[in-house]
Chains A and B, each alone.
Chain A
Amino acid sequence: MDITRFIPTNRKLLLVGLLILIIFLTTFPLYSKEYYIRLMAIIFMYIVLAVSWAMFSGPTGYMSLAPAAFFGVGVYTAALLYQLKGPLLPLPAIIVVGSLASFTLAFLTGLVTLRLKGIYFAIFSFGLVVFLKELINYLEIHVSKVGGRHISYVSNTTVFYILLGICVATLLTAYFIRRSRLGLAMQSIGGNEEAAAHMGVNTTRVKILTFAISAVFMGAAGATTAPRLVYIDPGLAFNVTYSFIPILMAVFGGMGTLYGPVIGAAVFAYTEIRLRQQYPYYYMLTWGIILIIIIFFLPAGLAGLIPKLRDRLGGPISKLRKGGEAEEHAHT
């Protein structure tokens, strides 16, 4: 009897795996503790940030340090619309407004800054975060005379499902952009921008468009996460760690693939939260050591482990398959 018939092909395995994952995630809040629902929501948020960052910065090579700006705009838009007395708009509408605000900001800053190259673009995008924080701080103190804003409660389960939805939307967008003309244009810009322009790519338009698209998801994540923060001030909303963590996650997971940043964000967020809770004094130290080990041994990130594992495990399996085929041939 041929046992290899029961070893599924990669494609089938992937589809079954995805189906199980979807069922698991959609039913997760039905049987989980509140703590784990919150934990998953945080993981989703980081997946959105890491994937949408890698969507633009991965292929084009423009290192954006602006995720915190777009995330913060989403958070602050929600804070303004979702007041303690009750929301001015229903939650989905607030999220749409938050993402549109981020889109507009990215579009306008893109017009000005995407002419900058290399480190200058990185510095400007970082400056944008600091500038927005200070600007809104000034406005809150001198104009609206509010130190911070409280937000009314939204259940963890609602936040969970909305973030799951945004997560799926981000992944689908990233997937289709990679396979589209736009993806090819972005790659050519990353490869050699001057040559891309001379081959007919409208580099300015491609860069601004994809920069703004990636900001939509960051804004949406911000607007959804805002109620979970309960109290919001400019320092919390425009916290620069929201720029650095998603980049670390994407690099940690591996930027060459779509699933790299997803794995990076999931593993990174989970271990970080658990380490912080269990070893509040040592977690930074442990965490730093883990990061160094990963970067040292896996320069392609965690995603780089998968082909290695496949080679290890796949070798014997494909040998079995080939053996089976050869036997069949022998019989005929």
Chain B
Amino acid sequence: MHILEGQGVTKLFGGLAAVSNVDFHVDQGEIVGQIGPNGAGKTTLFNLISAALPFSSGEIRFKGQKLNGLKPNQICQKGVARTFQQTKIFADMPVFQNVLVGASFGTPNRLSQADAAREASQKLEFVGLSAMSATLVKDLTLVNQKRVEVARALATKPELLLLDELMAGLNPTEVSEAMELVRKIRDEGITIFMVEHVMKAIMGICGRVMVLHHGEKIAEGTPQEISCNKQVIEIYLGEEAHAGS
């Protein structure tokens, strides 16, 4: 079953098509990766799904329901949560309160204050931050701030999680831990759609990958298929790949 489906999704910034007539889908229980060079439109596509930006044309359906015209808070309550490429945390609030915001406002059915608090502490435990629940988020390291964002998104009880470059800026050990975390989230029954530049992560955990370039979808398939695709190699490695072949 397609949990998320987009048809002819287009976003124009003035004359520039940041996302141009993209069809895509994500199936229930999948981990789908989105790759492409900088400026390819990956984050813009996420911004369209989560309603951070309005569409120019096309439509996106979540579980068969149209998302067009909804506000970000409504999309979150429908079950689509996200993290941000540039972490957008509540810097002056403690870790626990950050996650509590997600549990208090983002869930499909409103939780009581006690339930929201329980949900928040469970999610903090899930990402391994229980010990830091009273620390101000601005005092955390980047990797922990990213974990807070994941816990905050999970606290909204999503069915689909959009991860925007979760691994960017992490060291190799942290990348392995983050990959483990993503698998653990999928095992909870949450579908994952992720933008990633770290190829190790894409190859290791994604079942399917789509490639964007200049706002257009140029390839789609398993990580192995994508890594052999001539056009993708050209975009990523440039002309020298030909010289070598």
Contacts and interface: CB of A to CB of B under 8 A. Distances in A.
Interface of A: 181, 184-185, 187-188, 190-192, 194-203
A191 B90 contact: yes
B105 interface: yes
A81 to B, nearest CB: 40
A35 to B, nearest CB: 43
Contact of A198 (B50, B92, B97, B113): B50
A187 B100 CA distance: 12
A203 B89 contact: no
A202 B73 contact: yes
A287 B243 CA distance: 77
B93 interface: yes
Contacts of A202: 71, 73, 105
B52 A199 contact: no
Contacts of A194: 52, 72, 88
A191 B92 contact: yes
B181 interface: no
17 contacts: A181-B104, A184-B97, A184-B101, A184-B104, A185-B105, A188-B101, A191-B89, A191-B92, A191-B93, A192-B91, A194-B88, A196-B90, A196-B101, A198-B73, A198-B81, A200-B105, A200-B156
Which of A187, A198, A201, A202 has the most chain B CB within a 10 Å cutoff? A198
A181 B72 CA distance: 19
Contacts of B97: 184, 187
A200 B99 CA distance: 12
Which of A195, A197, A201 has the most chain B CB within a 10 Å cutoff? A195
B152 interface: yes
A191 B71 CA distance: 19
A197 B152 CA distance: 13
Q: How large is the interface on B (under 10, 10 to 19, 20 to 34, 35 or more residues)?
A: 20 to 34
Contacts of A198: 50, 52, 72-73, 75-76, 81-82, 88
A196 B90 CA distance: 9
A316 B18 CA distance: 65
A195 B84 CA distance: 8
A187 B90 contact: yes
B113 A181 contact: yes
Interface in B54-83: 71-73, 75-77, 81-82
Given A185-B105, A188-B101, A201-B73, 20 more contacts: A181-B104, A184-B100, A184-B101, A185-B101, A188-B90, A188-B93, A191-B92, A192-B88, A192-B89, A192-B90, A194-B72, A195-B89, A195-B90, A198-B75, A198-B82, A199-B81, A199-B152, A200-B73, A201-B105, A202-B71
A197 B93 contact: no
Interface string B135-160: 00000000000000000110010000
Nearest to A201: B105
A195 B52 CA distance: 10
Contacts of A203: 73
A187 to B, nearest CB: 6
